[in-house]
Amino acid sequence: MIPEDVLKAFDNLCYPEKPLVWVATCSEDEPHLVPVCFVKALDDGRLLIGNVFIKRTERNIESNPRIAVGVAFKREGWDGYLLKGRAEVLREGELFESFKREVLERSGGKRELSSALLVSVEEVYSLAPKKGKKRVF
């Protein structure tokens, strides 16, 4: 199971520092990296990422579900995590509609999701600058 501190780091709707989360995808011929603001860690260890403007990311996921998601923040020093897994695009259903309402409320009505990425996490790595094993999960 993914450690709680890892999930908490990605749940930036609750995080007071609101760290920027980066999402990397790849089409057949080109990698793509985009910052995202709305991320929610689900109880089962999956991530839900809100899509307001990221059309290329959405197209990439539809053709290649592999995804990498990273976050970096400062605690006592620099720290962070890289998650790798598979994503699917959600445009309907209770999970999507609930997250859509949450983002709309959280953004003061300024941001409305067009879709969400549901990420099933397969690997977790520490990004802390230290020697030794980096794989957490």
3-state secondary structure of 99: helix
Measure the CA–CA gap between 15 and 66, rounded to whole angstroms: 26
Q: What is the pLDDT of residues 109-127, one digit of tens each?
A: 999 999 999 999 999 999 9
Mean pLDDT (whole number) for 20-26: 93
pTM flag (> 0.75): yes
Q: What are phi and psi of 103, to 5 degrees?
A: -65, -45
**Which residues have CB under 8 Å from 101's CB, separation 6+?**
none
Looking at residue 126, its pLDDT comes to 94
DSSP state of 135: B
Task: Look at residue 87 in the predicted model and tell me its pLDDT.
Answer: 98
Dihedral sign of CA atoms 68, 72, 78, 83 in order: negative
Domains and CATH numbers, the chain: 4-126 (2.30.110.10)
